[in-house]
Structure 1
Amino acid sequence: MAQSRLEIPDTIKISDDTLVAQRDLIDVVRSVFNIKPRKISAREKKKIYFSILPISSSDGRSGGKALFTSTTAAFYLGDQGTTNLSSLTFTPYFNLKGRYGLPIRSNIWLDNNQWNIVGDTRVLVYPQYTWGLGGNQPEDDRFLVDYKYLRFYQTVLKKIKPYFYAGLGYNLDYYMDIESSGATNLRDFTGYNFGTGSGQDVLASGVTLNLLYDTRKNSINPLPGAYANIVYRINGRAFGSHNNWQSLYIDVRKYISLTHSGPKNVLAFWSYYWTSLTPGTPYLSLPSLGWEPYQRSGRGFVQNRYRGQRLAYFETEYRRDITRNGLLGFVLFANVNSVTEATNHNFVYWHPAGGTGLRFKFNKKSGTNISLDYGVSKNFSSLNLNLGETF
């Protein structure tokens, strides 16, 4: 009875008279080592569901090797029948090429979904290649930029009507000790004048105006529903920013269940549009592939491969369970992106990628999957490992 109202049920309905018990990797470990789960009384409800993934793998963002540990805590801060699942994710990261970071993300839903509080804090040392502006830069024409990075984003949204929210936020990006490799500096390589001086620090600080529409109950593993988010950012010297500039980010997602019962059989769509609205945007804050708020776009591409004043992105994914108990599944995905050219600010070149992946149910209570994806684009391929779905 205590678990009958959980968002992620313990059974999967195959037909009107057939239920199959869900199974996850925790169940597998318990059965292998003969661990007896603690009995939960009818009055007791578990508050937090942890998922931990310590791993060494290839780094799909840089093409090298990486060591990271991803920990997700999922919990309810209100009645489970009327409150979305909140999550807190901590992913310390070390790249064997000298890149490391401490990112913490949070998505908090208060009782009855009256408030949604979203946070993103990162401390990074992040040497990374850039290819300049536009979508037609040759693969070999790249430039290594080394910098330290501090991000602090916080947004508070209030429910206006069911599923619709509005709120304010504060965004800070602090790029420190921007260094260029070789004799050429970043300004000469890109031809861009804002935030490209060698050895300089760049501070972008401003407020955001936010609109959110979200019918998903679980952002870790979205069930059929829809999501739309609009973020208008205003940076100014009054907030400590080095330049006055503005940007707009629009994110839309839709999840369609292809069956009414049985194992997961879902078609998911994702599109976002990201644009700098005024001159003065620092180079490292310009729209760039893989640098949208969740840093999940561009499977099959190296992160930062394309950058411009505006970026358009489209992706679709087919998600299907392989086993009836939900333990194992697979996905097929395809995406395409384009950035505007530096000379005329038009979308000219479109870059496709595609791939497939496996899903291993880590925690059936929170719906957390281990996602292993292989993506391919022209001249590049990547292997991505995450906790939770890509979008």
Structure 2
Amino acid sequence: MPRIFAVIAVLILCCRSFGLRAQNPTGTLVPPDKLVDDTTGQRDIIGIALKVTHIHIKKTPKVRGQRVYYSVIPLGSSIPGGGEALITSTNAAFMLGDPKNTFLSNVTFSPSTNLRGEWNIPFRSNIWSPGNRWNYSGDYRLTFYPQFTWGLGGNTAPSDKILVRYTYIRFYQNFLRRIANKPYLFAGIGYDLDYHIHIRPKNDSIDITKFTGYKYGTGNHTNSFSSGITFNLLYDSRNNPLNPLPGWFYNAVLRVNPKILGSQTNWYSLYFDARKYLSFDPDSWNVLAFWSYLWTTMGSNAPYLDLPAITWDANQRSGRGFYPSRYTGRTLWDFETEYRRSITRDQLLGFVVFGNMNSVTEPGTSQFAYLHAAAGAGLRIKFNKHSGTNFCMDFAASKGYWSLYFALGEAF
């Protein structure tokens, strides 16, 4: 659908026009007096809890002379495949260098289980070396949660679905180096591994290959293994990914999965991500954010569970209001926007309203033919003012589906 690609082009051009204004030949973040957050007058859950309980704790530990700010919270939520889960989300945020030229690093660990033999153990990291010379990002997961699938395309009936079980191992690691004299531009390589073990339907009378009409990685009681090298180009002028300040973000990832590295088929993918953040008041939380990404396998024979699917972006935070993997195709496009605003002057409470839309290519024509939309709103509670971490509670709905979402840190 040409209109979709026109929207993508306009978004890219808009982001580029804003990004050019952020250039700074000195190599420091722009402007340092605005980006180094002053927490004076702010309140957070941790501070309130300590005051109420009269607990006195020592200063937070240091990493290379810098403070480490922890956010830990247990909560419950619905899970893919049905049922409820117990989730504990832990985030550690820290700076390894001078805040004037070093972004905030963070690691996240969010294990979950429904206490019935289904679980998810994810660990993510985004580390910035002193002076932002290097960026190291990782995504490691061990998962056994069943997933519904509706097959390929954007016109599948809500009730026409099957439950697929498998154990999933993911290992992603990237190494990016700052390009000389470009304070926000990085390039590098990485390695991605996706291993789906013992793929099977809930009912053995169902043939996954026949149901999906896709022959790669869909055999009952089989495994799917993908191993590939990634080539990465990143432009990031945000200094806090947990709660992005004004700035913009581009990320392009070309993934090559040859049989020589163990992949069952030779396949390729391209992931392009663009985001823009506009602040209307530098002294309060008043931000309009935009996000769009295009994810395509470029017609190659990627295994079914590695195909682009809504909610399966790099951080699994897209598509609020859609069931995970509700729409799957060889190419997926997603656009989201969110308005974020403080309710109280101390920024303890805030709210967001958001909307998103997506489309996947059809299996027969490889064209975008259907557009799907969702919308929602959420409450924000400042959990840790030093790292800018918010506790997020969102409600989102699309046609025939709704869900509640809980997380530490903004969706994008």
Bin the TM-score by the shorter chain: over 0.9
Q: Which structure 2 residue ranges, 5 or more long, are not aligned?
A: 1-32
Alignment match of 1:154 (pick from 150, 166, 173): 173
Distance 1:52 1:342 in 2: 43
CA deviation after TM superposition for structure 1 residue 62, in Å: 4.5
Mean Cα deviation higher: 335-344 or 180-189: 180-189
Q: Is the 8 A contact 1:172 1:205 kept in 2?
A: yes
Alignment match of 1:311 (pick from 329, 332, 335): 332
Alignment match of 1:216 (pick from 238, 244, 248): 238
Distance 1:221 1:185 in 2: 44
Give the corresponding residue for 1:276.
297
Distance 2:240 2:340 in 1: 16
Distance 2:115 2:151 in 1: 25
Q: Deviations over 1:117-148 (max 9, x none)?
A: 00000001121100000001000000111000
Q: Which structure 1 residue ranges, 5 or more long, are not aligned?
A: 12-20
Alignment match of 1:121 (pick from 131, 135, 140): 140
TM-score (normalizing by structure 2): 0.88
- Residues 79, 130 of structure 1: alpha-carbon distance in 2 compared, 3 angstrom cutoff: same
CA deviation after TM superposition for structure 1 residue 323, in Å: 0.5
Distance 1:371 1:324 in 2: 18
Matched, 1:49 2:78: no
Higher relative contact order, structure no. (Cα contacts within 8 Å, ≥ 6 residues apart)? 1
Higher share in helix: 2
Secondary structure of 1:201's partner? Answer: strand
Alignment match of 1:140 (pick from 159, 166, 170): 159
Q: Is the 8 A contact 2:137 2:175 kept in 1?
A: yes
Give the corresponding residue for 2:78.
58
CA deviation after TM superposition for structure 1 residue 57, in Å: 2.9
Higher share in strand: 1
Q: Is the 8 A contact 2:35 2:245 kept in 1?
A: no
Distance 2:337 2:159 in 1: 29
Matched, 1:207 2:229: yes
Q: Deviations over 1:308-327 (max 9, x none)?
A: 01000000000000010110
Letter in 1 for 2:378: G
- Residues 98, 334 of structure 1: alpha-carbon distance in 2 compared, 3 angstrom cutoff: farther
TM-score (normalizing by structure 1): 0.92
Q: Is the 8 A contact 2:35 2:239 kept in 1?
A: no
Distance 2:376 2:368 in 1: 24
Distance 1:177 1:257 in 2: 48
Alignment match of 1:23 (pick from 16, 39, 43): 43
Q: Deviations over 1:284-317 (max 9, x none)?
A: 0000001111000110111010000100000000
- Residues 171, 138 of structure 1: alpha-carbon distance in 2 compared, 3 angstrom cutoff: same
Between the aligned residues of both structures, percent identity stands at 51
Letter in 2 for 1:242: Q
CA deviation after TM superposition for structure 1 residue 201, in Å: 0.9
CA deviation after TM superposition for structure 1 residue 280, in Å: 1.4
Matched, 1:380 2:407: no
User: Matches of residues 100-111 of structure 1 in structure 2 within 5 Å?
Assistant: 100-111=119-130
Give the corresponding residue for 1:344.
365
- Residues 285, 235 of structure 1: alpha-carbon distance in 2 compared, 3 angstrom cutoff: same
Root-mean-square deviation (CA), in Å?
A: 1.7
Aligned residues: 374
Letter in 1 for 2:83: G
Give the corresponding residue for 1:7.
36
User: Matches of residues 359-370 of structure 1 in structure 2 within 5 Å?
Assistant: 359-370=380-391
CA deviation after TM superposition for structure 1 residue 64, in Å: 2.8
Distance 1:245 1:307 in 2: 17
Distance 2:115 2:212 in 1: 27
Distance 1:208 1:272 in 2: 17
Q: Is the 8 A contact 2:332 2:360 kept in 1?
A: yes
Q: Is the 8 A contact 2:290 2:336 kept in 1?
A: yes
Give the corresponding residue for 1:170.
191
Give the corresponding residue for 1:15.
none
Give the corresponding residue for 1:18.
none
